[in-house]
Structure 1
Amino acid sequence: MTDRPRFFDDLTGIAGGAFSAFTGAREELNAIIRNRVSEILASLHVVRREEFDIVREMATQTRISLDAAERRIADLETHIENLKRS
């Protein structure tokens, strides 16, 4: 009778160890895949979404500044023409 509970304890321990090993292997495999995908994307010169969003925001701000500068230049040119006519 005493052998039976020990058998189940041993079986539970083995199952728990196997589960831990599989979990660790899965995490390791995920890390390897993530690293490999990052290497492939880097070799293809593909940018990450965060980098793209930053550059897009910079381009938007530059466009706004350029539009403002063009309006100011147009106003100054109009002012100079008005001064020439006076």
Structure 2
Amino acid sequence: MTQSSKFFDDLGRLMNDAASVADGVRREAETAFRGQMERVVNDLNLVKREDYDALRELVATQGEEIEALRKELDALKSGGKTA
């Protein structure tokens, strides 16, 4: 093996090692960031989408029921009969 070949082999290994270290640092930073964001989101007491949709549907149903009861009450106040 020549001197320059050994140099390039060593340089290649060094670059591979540096790339591995950089990838490890990147993964560690992503993990730390993800953990911090999860803590922030949990502290905000955000509602889950499924819970929001279920509550929205319940409120819509209750709104319809309230409207029907208002009509019935208005009919009773005016002396009419409901169907």
TM-score past 0.5 threshold: yes
1:32-72 CA distance string (max 9 Å, x none): 12212322443xx3145x72x43432332122111210122
* Unmatched 5+ stretches in structure 2: none
Equivalents in 1 of 2:59, 2:40: separation in Å? 33
Count of residue pairs the alignment pairs up: 79
Percent of aligned positions with the same letter in both sequences? 16
Question: Of the candidates 50, 61, 68, which is equivalent to residue 57 of structure 2?
Answer: 61
Q: Is structure 2 residue 80 aligned with structure 1 residue 82?
A: yes
Q: What's the RMSD between the two structures over aligned residues?
A: 2.6
Stretches of structure 1 lacking an aligned partner (at least 5 in a row): none
Aligned partner of 1:72 in structure 2 is: 68
- Give the TM-score, by structure 2 length: 0.69
**TM-score of the pair, normalised by structure 1:** 0.67
1:25 corresponding residue in structure 2: 25
